[in-house]
Amino acid sequence: MVPNLIGAMCAITWHIYDNQENLYGLVSLQGIFTFIGNSTLALAAIKIFRGKETFE
pTM for this entry? 0.60
17 falls in which pLDDT band (50, 70, 90)?
Answer: confident
Instruction: Judge whether 12 and 34 are in contact, CB under 8 Å.
Output: yes
pLDDT tens for 25-45 read 877 787 788 888 888 888 999
Query: How far is Cα 8 from Cα 34, in angstroms, rounded to an integer?
Result: 7
Query: In the predicted model, what is the mean pLDDT of residues 7-20?
Result: 75
53 falls in which pLDDT band (50, 70, 90)?
Answer: low
The residue range of the domain holding 24 is: 2-55
Please state the domain count of the chain.
Answer: 1
Q: Where are the alpha helices (DSSP H) in 1-56?
A: 2-18, 24-55
